Structure 1
C-alpha cells in the first residue's frame, strides 16, 4: 500500500466517494474544532491506496504534550471495506514510512486498529474502547421500543409517565452561554471521579461544528437545568458524545426520558442510528459500569469497533515514554 497526502478539498471529495458513514471526528470541520484546544493543531489528510485505488482515508491532528509530539486520527482510518489484519498491517507500515518522511518530529500515531498487531501498542494515555451500543432509529417510536431490552422499555415508559422534567433542544441557548451546562458537568465529574474539560472546550465544539453537526438537549424542572447531553451528527449517524445530570436525577428518571427525547429528535433530523459511545468489555473493563444503562436501549445493538492503539514512529523514544509511565504507576502504588 502507498500513502498520498490530500488537500482539504481533495479529502472532502474522497470522503464522499468512499460511500460509508464518516465519523464526525474525520470530517474536516473537526480539525477546525481541535485547533481551538491548546497543544493541538491540524496535521493533514491522507489516502491509503491499494493498486492506485483508495482503500482508506484519515485526518490527522497533531498533539503536543510534555515536550513531544504525536499524531491522532480519531476513529480512523476510515476503510472502504472492512480490513483484514494484513490490510491493517500494510496500511500502518505505509503510514509510518510516510510520516517519517514528511515530519521527523512525530513520536507515534494513535489511531483505530481492529487487530492487535506486532507493531501496535496499548495507548499510553486515554481509555480506548472496542464496544459500543448503536440504536436503530428506523420505523418510528414503537419500532424503537420493540428493539429495546424489556428493562429498557419498562424504564423509558416509566420515565415518560413520571419524570417531572421537560425536554428541549437547547442548542441555541448553549451556544450563547455554556456556563450553566458546564456547572452540571463539573458536578457529575466530581461525583463520578473524572476531570471535565474547561467550559471553553464544549463551547468551541458547538460553535465550530455548528448546529448541523452538534446539538445540545436539556432536561429542566421548573426552569432549573437538571440534565443535558451533547450529541454530534455526521450523515445519518448521531452520537451521544457528552452527558451530565445533577445528583438525584436518577430517582426522577431524567436520563431515560432525555435519551428518549434525543432519539426522537435526531430521527426527525434524518438520523437512522444513535451511537451511545462506548461501553465496557474485556478490552476495556474500566468502563463496565456503563453497560447496565446503555445496553438496555437496544437488545441487539452491541457493536464491536476498532479501538485506539498506538503505533510507534520513533521506537526508542516511545519505549522511554512507556518506561516513564511504568515508573509513575509504581510510585503511585507505593504511595497508596
Structure 2
C-alpha cells in the first residue's frame, strides 16, 4: 500500500471519476472556504493506493491552536471500496507515515474512521457522531411527506395550516449582508448554549462555496426573518449544516415548515438525499436530545457513518495533550462538586 500526494487538479480528476457523492468538506472548494478562517489553511491532497488500484482520496486542512498544529479531513478519506478493519488500519498507518515524512510539525490527524482501531483515539475536542438521519427528497412534495414518521407528518401538516411565514431561497440576499441572519444565530446560541462563529464565516461559506454548493433558506414574517437554514450541496446530496430561529411559541411550527420547504425545494433541484447532520447514539450519548426531532422527518432515515477519530503523528506530544485534557476535566469536576 502506498500514499501519493496529489495536486489540486489531480485530486479533482480523481474524485470526479467516483460513483459516490463526495462529502462537501472533501471538495477542494471547501479548502478555499476554510482558508478564510483564522488558524486554518489548506495542507494538501492525497490518494491511498494498492498497486494500480486507488482505494481512497483525502483532502486535509491544517488547524493551528494552542501552539500546535494538526490536520483535519472532514468526512474523509473518501473510499472507493468498503474498508475492512484490516484495510482501514493499514491505510491509516501509511497515511500517518506519509504525513510524518512530509511535515514534522503535525501532532495528529483527525479523520472519519469507521472502525475503532488501536491506532485511533477519541477526539481531543469536538463532539463526533456516528449516526445521522437522511431524508429521501425524491418523488415530489407528497412523496416526501408520506415517508415521514406519523408524528412528522402531523407536525408538518399543522405547520402548513397554521404557520403564516413566507419561505424562500435567500442565498444572494445573505451574501450581500448577513447581519439580520446573524442576529438570530446569536439568539439561538444564547438559548441553546453554544458559541456561534463570527458572522463573516457564514457569509464566506455562502460566497465561496457558491450557489451550486450552498444555499440559505429562510422564513419571514413580513420583512422580519424568523428562521433560516444553510444547506450545503455535493452531487445529489444536501446537508443541513446550520440552522437558527427566533424564540417564541411558534418556533417549532416555523422550523418544521422550513425543513419541509427545504426538502421540497432541494428535491425539485435534483437532490435525492438531505442529511440532517448527526443524532445521538451509544457512541455519542451527549446529543441524544436531537433524536426525537430529527428522526420524525424520515421513518427509515437513520444511517450509521464513520465518526471522527484522532490518529497521533507525534505520539509523546499527543499523550501530553490527552493528559492535559484529563486534568482539566478533573479540575472542572472538582469545582463543580465544591
TM-score in terms of structure 2 length: 0.98
Q: Following TM superposition, by how much is the alpha carbon of 1:89 offset from its aligned partner in structure 2, in angstroms?
A: 0.2
Q: Give unpaired runs (5+ residues) of structure 1.
A: none
Runs of 4+ aligned residues of structure 1 deviating over 2 Å after TM superposition are 249-252
Confirm or deny: 8 A CA contact 1:249 1:255 kept in the other structure. Answer: no
SS at match of 2:201: helix
Q: Which residue of 1 aligns with 2:242?
A: 242
1:181-205 C-alpha deviation (Å, 9 max, x unpaired) = 0110111011001111010110111
Q: How many residues align?
A: 336
Q: Which residue of 2 aligns with 1:161?
A: 161
Q: How many angstroms apart in 1 are the aligned matches of 2:207 and 2:221?
A: 26
Q: Which residue of 2 aligns with 1:302?
A: 302
The within-5 A match list for 1:122-271 is 122-248=122-248, 250-251=250-251, 253-271=253-271
Confirm or deny: 8 A CA contact 2:63 2:70 kept in the other structure. Answer: yes
Confirm or deny: 8 A CA contact 2:140 2:268 kept in the other structure. Answer: no
Q: Which residue of 1 aligns with 2:316?
A: 316
Q: Which residue of 2 aligns with 1:49?
A: 49
Q: How many angstroms apart in 2 are the aligned matches of 1:251 and 1:127?
A: 26
Q: Following TM superposition, by how much is the alpha carbon of 1:50 offset from its aligned partner in structure 2, in angstroms?
A: 1.3
The within-5 A match list for 1:66-105 is 66-105=66-105
Q: Which residue of 2 aligns with 1:14?
A: 14
Q: How many angstroms apart in 1 are the aligned matches of 2:149 and 2:170?
A: 29
Change (3 A) 1:52 1:61: same
Q: How many angstroms apart in 2 are the aligned matches of 1:247 and 1:45?
A: 43
Q: Following TM superposition, by how much is the alpha carbon of 1:248 offset from its aligned partner in structure 2, in angstroms?
A: 1.2
Change (3 A) 1:273 1:252: closer
Confirm or deny: 8 A CA contact 2:113 2:309 kept in the other structure. Answer: yes
Q: Following TM superposition, by how much is the alpha carbon of 1:250 offset from its aligned partner in structure 2, in angstroms?
A: 4.3
SS at match of 1:253: helix
Q: How many angstroms apart in 2 are the aligned matches of 1:306 and 1:215?
A: 26
Matched, 1:276 2:284: no
Q: How many angstroms apart in 2 are the aligned matches of 1:91 and 1:231?
A: 31
Q: How many angstroms apart in 2 are the aligned matches of 1:201 and 1:87?
A: 37
Q: Following TM superposition, by how much is the alpha carbon of 1:249 offset from its aligned partner in structure 2, in angstroms?
A: 5.5
1:57-94 C-alpha deviation (Å, 9 max, x unpaired) = 00000000000000000000000121111111010000
SS at match of 1:279: coil
Q: Following TM superposition, by how much is the alpha carbon of 1:251 offset from its aligned partner in structure 2, in angstroms?
A: 5.0
Confirm or deny: 8 A CA contact 2:144 2:264 kept in the other structure. Answer: no
Q: Following TM superposition, by how much is the alpha carbon of 1:333 offset from its aligned partner in structure 2, in angstroms?
A: 1.2
Q: How many angstroms apart in 1 are the aligned matches of 2:229 and 2:252?
A: 17
TM-score in terms of structure 1 length: 0.99
**Backbone CA RMSD of aligned residues:** 0.9
Confirm or deny: 8 A CA contact 2:3 2:95 kept in the other structure. Answer: yes
Confirm or deny: 8 A CA contact 2:245 2:251 kept in the other structure. Answer: no
